Structure 1
Amino acid sequence: MIRRLKDIYYRSSLATKIRYSYLFLLIPLLIFLVFTFYNLWDMNHNYEDMVNSTVVASEFSLDFKKDFDYETYLLIVGNKTVEESELDSMIEEAERIVVGLEEITEAEDNIARLDSVNKYLSNLRIYVDRIEENLQKESRYEDNMEIWENDVQIVTSLVGDTMSQYIYYEVRGIQQSRAAYQTFFMNLVRFSLLGMGLLLLLVIILSYYIPRSITMPITRISRVTNQVAKGNLSVRAAAESGAEARMLSDSLNAMIDKINELLDQVTTEQIRLRKAEFELLQAQINPHFLYNTLDTIVWLAEAGDQKRVVSMVGNLSDFFRTSLNQGKDIIPIREELAHVRSYLEIQQVRYQDILRYEITVPEDLYEYKIPKITIQPLVENALYHGIKNKRGQGTITITGERSENGFVLYVRDNGIGMIQERLNEVRAGIQKLSYTGKEIYGLYNVNERIRLNFGETYGISIESTYGEGTCVSISLPDQWK
């Protein structure tokens, strides 16, 4: 029988095995918790009832006799009229307290004592009625004093004594309940230790069989996934036990086949993506730049400045010739600098009062390769967002130097710069395009094309100080010489 159950267990799915393990552990624990909580609740409920009844009874016994006797005396000697007397309300309040005690008292002896108190209160009401009747007649003072001394005070004493007995037995019940609680607690501790021992034994047994039956097929599959992670896409998984493990094995094999297909697609898509991004960057060349340049050429021609017209047309021609460059994505730095120089020459004619530039890149870097239209967007940002926003003449400087991983080009301006908050936004936008704005899109596009072509370790970084200027660094490798 045990062997049959064991075979059924091993043929079960992983989810069923886990459910069995939960049931084996939870059912005894739940039974124990329900038993414990019920007994604790019941004992606590009884204990609270006895404490509450004792407190209420104590207040009753301490105040009632003194207040009632004194109130009766005031009525008899004439210090209070019948209408002013509070005797009826005191009896009603006492009856209300007794009714409340009857609701929470469970001991039969104390219930009988409360019945006696009710009878005493009824007698007090009779005595009060007699006193009030005598007050309406003359020369009945002695009769009322006799009722007060021989009846009222005796009955209030009986009420006090009965309530004292009630409190005594309630307190004794509390002590007995406390003793029972301690006994129950000690038994609970012993039972808990025994139960914990049994549960621990059960956990040890289950911790061997259940994980072993679950982890064996998963371990086989994990070996396959490790091989896949290392780039070996020729391996295949084969699980023999566990319904979920077999499904996972089949899914893993299908995923490996799909990865092989996707790798080919990704290679093709990367080529298309780079081309599309570059075409998008070319489309970002501000058409206003072309319009303004042509307007400037017309203005110079009308002014008769033939040399500057020829110069601007030549620079514009060189600018667009480099932009097209027969579809090449990677060009020498020499050509990129010529492209930027053409752009700056054109802009210097338009902004001759505020724009100066310097290009001092060492010639030994000229033949190194760079993605086309990398520097021009940075220069455009420096002009429109740096120099134009600052009064007076500004300077754009393009320099370069070797580095440990290749070389670095710098585009500096002494424009308005950026506050720290804006600088943080721009840096975040360079890494992940999450901010709007043409200037950030241009920086993001340049950085992404560098990373796509040369790797994650290369790209652009930016430093800026408000009121002093901005510097953009372009990090590139030198193996493309």
Structure 2
Amino acid sequence: MQVWLQSSLAEMIALTFVGCAKAGRNMRTYFRHFTNHMKIRNKLIVSFIAVVLVPTLIVGVYLTVELRKMALRGAAEQIETNMDRVKKRTMDLLNVSYDISYRLSNDTRLGQLANGAYDSTYSVVDAYREYPDFKEYVNLYREITSMRLYVDNPTLLDNWEIIPTDEQTKKTDWYQWAKKSDGLIRWSYVTDSRDGLRYLSLIRRIDFYKHSTNGVLVINTNSAMLNGILSQESFDTMLVADRDIVAANHPELVGTTLQDLAIGPDIVDRRSGAFMTKLGDRRVRIQIADLYPDNPLINLRILSVFSVDDIVREPNRIIRSALAAIGLGLVVALVLILILSKLIGDRLLRLSKHISRVATGKLDLRLAIDGKDEIGQLSRQFNAMLGSIRALMGEVNESNRQKRELETRQNEIKLRMLASQINPHFLFNTLESIRMKAVVRKEADIARTVKLLGKMMRKNLEAGSGVIPVSAEIDMIGCYLDIQKFRYEDRLQYKLNIDPEASSERIPSLVIQPIVENAVIHGMENKEEAVTVEVTLQSRADGLFVEVRDDGAGMSGDRLAEVTASLKDPGGAEASDHIGLRNVNARLELSYGAEHGLAIESAPDEGTRVRFVIPRGMGDQTNV
């Protein structure tokens, strides 16, 4: 079952891939068909939109969003840095009140003063004079403005520092909290009954363990110093105790509450964090830092409020300027594309008109399109093509002329042959009669030679002017050389070096035998020693290589020049000599080109070498 599921899944995946590949091919075919039918002007505009406009818009939108985010992140980081600085300086200021409160909580002299039983005003004043610590703390530390201790001792006098607790004070929330707390510290924004002003005050219960009593200590911080710490901030920054704003860099905010600023209830009690909200018509970001994050009883926070619109105003200005510049650049680019497309279209239209005129047979044109771009190159190639066509037409006319001339010469040869030909059947029958007489008289050499002569003549008549296998041509060459060897006996030797792969090639008939005949006749002239004729055929990469060489008398340089010239000039002074070589050379050049004609090398007393190459795959081609 598992194997079946795996095979089914593999088949489904394969079919999916095949379907996707087919869909991709169809899409490419449709896209190619669609673009091929568009004008160049439209292609350039579409390319401009796809390659320039759309990416520019995408990049512009991305950069706009990122620039705004960077501005907001930068403002947030700046606010965090500023708030850390404000928090440190504020904590330094508040710690002074902390230290004083701890000192007083362990001051036994303060306990004696607060719990003494005084019978006269003089004794109270004298006791106050003996305890000047409150005045000294206020004078020594600028961070505090005043100190007072509330105690339940009716024998004391209110000197604005040691205050007997009245009923109104006992009803206040901060006093009741302090009395219930176990010596804990609290910061509250309370009203000082002495001057009627509100201060951020440290509130703490002071226990006098020796007397089993306690009092409530209130230390007012220096509001001016708190406002001075915050006044250096560029954004709206404030110090908040619970929901009361106790200090701010804008004096009009001091004494108000967070509700007065219309801060939402979901943010007003948050002790830390960053929040996006709206204050009236402004979108703002509120950053909150808790001064005592580890003490839930103290709700003292720093709030920084900055307008998002103010932060992104400069980035928005930069973005608008950049968009204006980009828009201007795109318009200029579009205009340039339209102008360029018109120039290209006009040049292509001129080229199309010239092509149409050439199609009607007007080959004496010349297209004048300047430039080194593709269209200019196409124009030059068009002119070169016209020149090649004109040259090809001339070559075709010349080839036809040569062909007609060759046909005329062949017809003349045929007429001469007809005038002197003998009935082939009569000739073969006569040769056969001679061979039989030789056999009867036991003349084997004569009989074999007559048989070779008949075979050679029959093959010559059968071959005609067509193409034959190399093996047939070699067979005729063998017959001819055997006949000549019968004639010259040991004076003539021959070698046939035939590549087995060349035997199946096809070549024009009687293209090698006349060269061999020339080598035998002229190689043995003026030489009494034996002559060797060597025939070589090799199948090479460039075609069929043919070479006929002899070690006969050879030719001098002048004689070789005359023979070579006679191959090119059939009507010259040497017209009666080497007619076989001239015919072979003419057939090769007409069939395969001038470069495939005969190449002759010769030197006196060294012999002669004749070679040529029939191009690969063109052996069946012949014009004669």
Give yes or no for TM over 0.5. no
- Interval of TM-score (by shorter of Structure 1 and Structure 2): 0.3 to 0.5
Bigger-Rg structure (1/2): 2
Higher strand proportion (structure 1 or 2): 2
- Of structures 1 and 2, the one with the larger relative CO (CA 8 A, separation 6+) is 1
Higher helix proportion (structure 1 or 2): 1
Q: TM-score, normalised by structure 1?
A: 0.41
